[in-house]
Structure formats: C-alpha cells, structure tokens
C-alpha cells in the first residue's frame, strides 16, 4: 500500500473516532503547546533585552578604578580562601587623569572612537513657584552629548566654550519645559531655573530643550517622570568639588574592533603603566558585548530547561499513542488477517500502522503549535514585549512529533505485522 493511501486511511480512522483521537492526541497537544509557548516567550524576552542593551552601546567599554583584593590564602590542608577588598578610600593619585586618557588615545588611536565622561551632580526638583519637575543633573563632555544624539527642539547644545569655562548652562528635556514653561520651548531658552538638590538651590541658565526618549523602563507616571538635565562636565565637577580625575568612564570602540579583546588590552596597559605600584587600586574594564552575550545565554538556558520539563508531557502523550494503537490493532485483527491472506507483506502492515501513529502525532503537533503560538502571543502582549515566535521551537516540535510517532508506533505496528493470518481470521 502506498504512503499516500496509508495517510488517507489514518485520517479516515481519526474522523471515525473523533473523541478517542482527540483524547489520544491531548498529551501531544499540551506538550507541544507548552514547548512552543515557553520558547517563544523566552525568545521575545531575550530579543527585547538584547535590543535594549545594544541600544545602550554593545561595543562600549566601561573603564573604572576598583579596589584590589588581597591574595588568596591557602591553608595547610589545601583549602583556598579568596582574598577580600582592602577597604581603603581613593586619594587624588588613584583616579584616572586627563594625562592618562591622552596617552591612551595616542596608544589606542585605531581602536577607540571617543571617550564619554560624565559626573552626577545629584537628583532633585526644578522649581518655578508652584511648578515643579523631577530631574537628575549630569555633567557631560562633548563626546558624551554627540554619542547621545539628542533631538533638539529649541535652542542649542552645550559648546566647547561652555565646557572650557565651566558655565552654569544646561540642556533640559521637553518634560521640564512642559512643566515649568507651559510647553513654550522658546520661552524656556535664556531663562534661569532653580534646582533643589541636597538641601540647596542651584541656578542654571537654559540654553536648549531636547526631546525626552522614554525607553520603556520607567515605572513613573507622565507627571512624575525624572529626566536628565545636562550640564558641562567641568561645571558639575566644580559643583561637586571633585578631584582632577575620574573613577569611571566609557570608551566607544571604533567600527570592527573586538571590544572583549580590547578590554583585556586596556586593563593591561593601564595597570602596567600607571597602577603597577598602587597597592590598593587597579583599573578594570568590561564590555557591553560580553554582558549581552551572558544575558542571552542565561535566558536561553532557562528557556530550554523549562521547555525540557514541559516536554515530559510529550513522553506521556507518546505512551498514550502506543496504548491506543494496541487497542486499534486488537479491534482490527480480522482486517489484518484479511490483508495478509490477500498477499500483504509484513512490511506493508508495519508501515500502515506506523503511518497511522505518525499522523496522530503530527495532527496533535500542528494543533499544539497553533495553540502554543496563541498562548505565546497572549503572554508576550501581557508582559509588554513584542511577540517573537521561536522558529527553532516549531521545527523541533514537528520533528519530535514524527519521532514520537515512529518510536511509540513501532511496537504496535510490529505486533500487527507478525500476526498469524489464520489466527487473525479466526479472531472474534
């Protein structure tokens, strides 16, 4: 009998016993739907998180000064105890200086595109009478502003002269302008705003209004959202009475540069040239690329682990398929005997029942895929992510359905193929 005829025969058998077929496929449907839903939701979360981190700069390197740890202690019985932080405070000579950065630019001129410097000047409230807006003040250099690619709605950006002279001028968001100036951005330009930070008022002149980009991570209401006020870096450092160095900065790598490899090179270069004799501090570097990779791997591992647990129901469904196939063979004993008496070979009988098992599993698999995609779309929509169906999960499900059909259908099919035709014809 041809494969096509076997498939049609199996489908007609399913239609003739709809309820029994549905109950048989139920384990397959639940297992496939669970695997598809879990893998799709995991894929959506992973894609969203990775995209957000990449928007932050996947090739950026964070360079910072951190405390050295004491050497590991090895006891007489061979146990190793990790060293602890020395706990000392940073002094002026422990910071990364402008001279170090100039030397680094020259040494790694082909690998680095820009250096982003920033310093927090505190968070507080911008006030104008009864009108207020929540803000955080950040001092930035010119490279930082260029990298942020702010969309100016009115006024100008911070200039090199503002940076050099440490002017008390700021860029504010449209949210601040809406709250304090009724949305009149031109009226905001040139006006002075008072920001209350740490029990003290600071006065700045507004030179520009930028469009606030809500990344989706904020849990605050529209009225209470905190936006950044950008101040020249040196002005922020003067306000904080900071030292002449930096404890942390960001390096934007040039196109095509392996940021992970550059991290190691920068660490080695800084520590060999400037921190070799420093007993308490050293420079460490980390890349967003490695963080994205680690995050993706972790989410994928969790998704696969949960999918494997959900996939156990597939085995239960497979056992159900085997059970119903054994029942079917018993019910069709005379049919099998008749076919064998008319010349059907053991191989054709075996193929017939294996195909029936595969059709049952594939039908359940396709229903499970549709149900799984619906569940995944509903779950991702509820979580606020964009649905991203797992193609790998769908291919796995279809393949696994076929394998289950073959594996759990072979024993009943082989039993049918080995029937004695005389005994089968005499079966009542």
pLDDT of residue 20: 76
| Rounded Cα distance, 263 and 211, in Å | 33
pLDDT per residue as tens digits for the range 48-79: 766 665 555 567 888 889 888 665 544 444 44
The 3-class secondary structure across 345-404, one letter per residue, is CHHHHHHHHHHHHHHHHHHHHHHHHHHHHHHHHHHHHHHCCCCCCCHHHHHHHHHHHHHH
DSSP 93: G
Of 270, 150, 125, the C-alpha closest to 201 is: 125
Domain coordinates of the chain in residue numbers?
3-53+293-425, 112-253
pLDDT of residue 236: 92
Q: Lowest-pLDDT range, 116-130, 303-317, 337-351? A: 303-317
Strands 131-140 and 227-232: parallel
- 224 exposure class (CB count in 10 Å sphere: 0-12, 13-18, 19+): exposed
pLDDT of residue 139: 93
Asked if the model's pLDDT at residue 279 lies above 80, the reply is yes
Could you tell me the pLDDT band of residue 84, with boundaries at 50, 70 and 90? very low
pLDDT per residue as tens digits for the range 244-277: 788 889 988 888 788 888 888 999 999 999 998 8
- How high does pLDDT run on average in the chain? 81
What mean pLDDT is predicted for residues 85-114?
83
Bridge partners for 114 per DSSP: 252
Asked if the model's pLDDT at residue 221 lies above 90, the reply is no
Selected residue with higher pLDDT from 314 and 56: 314
- Write down the pTM of the prediction: 0.57
pLDDT of residue 300: 73
pLDDT of residue 290: 66
What mean pLDDT is predicted for residues 131-159?
91
């Amino acid at each position: 009998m041809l494969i096509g005829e076997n498939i049609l025969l199996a489908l007609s058998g399913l239609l003739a016993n709809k309820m029994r077929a549905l109950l048989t496929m139920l384990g397959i449907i639940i297992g496939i739907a669970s695997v598809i839903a879990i893998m799709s939701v995991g894929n959506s979360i992973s894609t969203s998180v990775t995209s957000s981190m990449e928007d932050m700069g996947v090739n950026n390197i964070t360079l910072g000064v951190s405390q050295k740890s004491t050497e590991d202690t090895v006891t007489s019985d061979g146990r190793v105890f990790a060293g602890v932080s020395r706990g000392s405070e940073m002094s002026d000579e422990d910071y990364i200086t402008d001279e170090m950065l100039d030397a680094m630019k020259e040494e790694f001129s082909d690998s680095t595109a820009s250096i982003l410097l920033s310093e927090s000047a505190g968070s507080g409230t911008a006030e104008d009478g009864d009108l207020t807006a929540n803000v955080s003040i950040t001092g930035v250099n010119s490279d930082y502003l260029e990298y942020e690619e702010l969309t100016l709605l009115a006024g100008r950006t911070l200039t090199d002269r503002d940076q050099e002279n440490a002017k008390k001028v700021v860029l504010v968001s449209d949210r601040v302008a809406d709250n304090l100036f009724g949305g009149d951005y031109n009226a905001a330009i040139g006006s002075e705003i008072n920001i209350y930070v740490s029990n003290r008022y600071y006065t700045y002149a507004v030179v520009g209004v930028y469009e606030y980009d809500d990344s989706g991570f904020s849990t605050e209401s529209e009225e209470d959202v905190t936006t950044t006020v950008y101040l020249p870096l040196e002005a922020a450092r003067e306000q904080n009475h900071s030292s002449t160095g930096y404890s942390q900065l960001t390096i934007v790598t040039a196109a095509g540069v392996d940021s992970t490899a550059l991290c190691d090179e920068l660490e080695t270069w800084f520590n060999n040239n400037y921190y070799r004799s420093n007993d308490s501090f050293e420079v460490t570097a980390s890349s967003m690329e490695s963080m994205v990779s680690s995050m993706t791997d972790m989410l994928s591992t969790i998704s696969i682990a949960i999918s494997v647990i959900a996939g156990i129901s597939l085995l239960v469904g497979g056992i159900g398929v085997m059970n119903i196939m054994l029942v079917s063979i018993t019910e069709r004993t005379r049919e099998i005997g008749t076919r064998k008496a008319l010349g059907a070979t053991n191989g054709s009988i075996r193929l017939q029942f294996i195909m029936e098992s595969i059709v049952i599993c594939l039908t359940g698999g396709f229903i499970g895929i549709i149900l799984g995609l619906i569940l995944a779309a509903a779950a991702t929509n509820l979580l606020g992510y964009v649905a991203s169906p797992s193609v790998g999960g769908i291919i796995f499900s279809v393949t696994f359905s076929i394998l289950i059909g073959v594996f759990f259908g072979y024993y009943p099919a082989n039993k049918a193929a080995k029937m004695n035709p005389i005994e089968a014809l005499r079966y009542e």
